Amino acid sequence: MPSTAPHFAIAIDGPAASGKSTLAHQLATRLGLIMVNSGAMYRAITWQALQDHIDPSDHAAVIDLLHRLTIECGDDGLSSTITLNGCDPGDALRSEAVNANVSTVAAIPEVRAKLVALQRDYLTRTNIVMEGRDIGSVVFPDTPYKIYVHAAEHVRSARRSNMGEIDSVAQRDAADSNRSTAPLMVAPGAAILDNSHHSIEASVLAALEILKQQGLAV
Ligand code: DC
């Protein structure tokens, strides 16, 4: 999609628990941008489906839910926010039930179309760092600023359990990589950053160097 928006996006993609959110937060703070967590949008729809006792694999029911929902995506000056019919799901977005079902909901093309439009809308308002799975490949394919963050699977699983979360990252990665619409992939033009053995500070410095090489004035 050629962009005529007056603002720019830095796209950060990668598998579950690869450190995308931490990196995106740090970059946003240092560069004065809004950090947009696109995974929270897929989590929010999943949470609402579970609240309404909708089977996440029932596409028609999830699509019907989408039509009934007023989804408001904004920001608090630092990071993205989301409400569904005026309600903020908060920490429930990271529950075990949402972790287990979010890939199923995220594979539904109509869900993706709706959320991608809301994601692109941020660029009409502000400069952003957006993290997800398809940001460099689908949401903002024309941005020159793209990083694919990676870390070894055992490192990623350990990060999730250290956070006290039950999350089968390998299962989620397989589902997110093998779906037919907008699978997790290294976007054309993205630089790969493997942070398996990096401190947060080292990852941020490596990312800033990549962005500089991609033409960002940092
Ligand atoms: O980044 P996260 O782990 O919070 O994302 C939760 C799920 O949402 C992830 O398993 C796949 C889906 N997702 C997606 O399909 N596309 C995105 N741009 C972001 C997340």
Q: What are the tens digits of pLDDT across the range 149-207?
A: 999 988 998 888 888 878 888 898 999 999 999 999 999 999 999 999 999 999 999 99
Q: Whose CA is nearest to atom 11 of ligand 1?
A: 103
Q: Using a 6 Å cutoff on CB, does residue 172 contact ligand 1?
A: yes
**Using a 6 Å cutoff on CB, does residue 41 contact ligand 1?**
no
Task: For the full predicted model, state whether its pTM sits above 0.85.
Answer: yes
Ordered by start, the domain boundaries in the chain are: 9-212
79, pLDDT greater than 70: yes
Structure token digits, residue 122 = 């941020």
pLDDT of residue 1: 47
What is the whole-number distance in angstroms between the Cα of residue 98 and the centre of ligand 1?
A: 11
Residue (of 3, 1, 13) closest to 136 by Cα position: 13
Q: Look at ligand 1, atom 1, and give the residue with the nearest C-alpha.
A: 39
**Mean confidence (pLDDT) of the chain:** 95
Query: Residue 5: is its pLDDT beyond 70?
Result: no
Cα of 15 from ligand 1 centre, angstroms:
8
3-class secondary-structure state, position 122:
helix
Pocket lining: 94 vs ligand 1, CB cutoff 6 Å: no
**Does 167 sit in the ligand 1 pocket, CB within 6 Å?**
no
Residue 106 near ligand 1, beta carbon < 6 Å = yes
**Taking residues 104-120, what's their average pLDDT?**
98
CATH class of 9-212: alpha beta
Whole-angstrom distance, CA of residue 124 vs CA of residue 167: 34
Q: Quick one: tokens of 114?
A: 């709706």
Q: What is d(CA 19, CA 151) in angstroms, rounded to the nearest whole number?
A: 8
Whether the per-residue pLDDT at 4 is higher than 70: the answer is no
Strand ranges (E), 71-166: 71-75, 80-84, 128-132, 146-150
103 lines ligand 1 (CB under 6 A): yes
Residue closest via CA to ligand 1's atom 16 equals 133
Ligand 1 midpoint to CA 48 (Å):
16
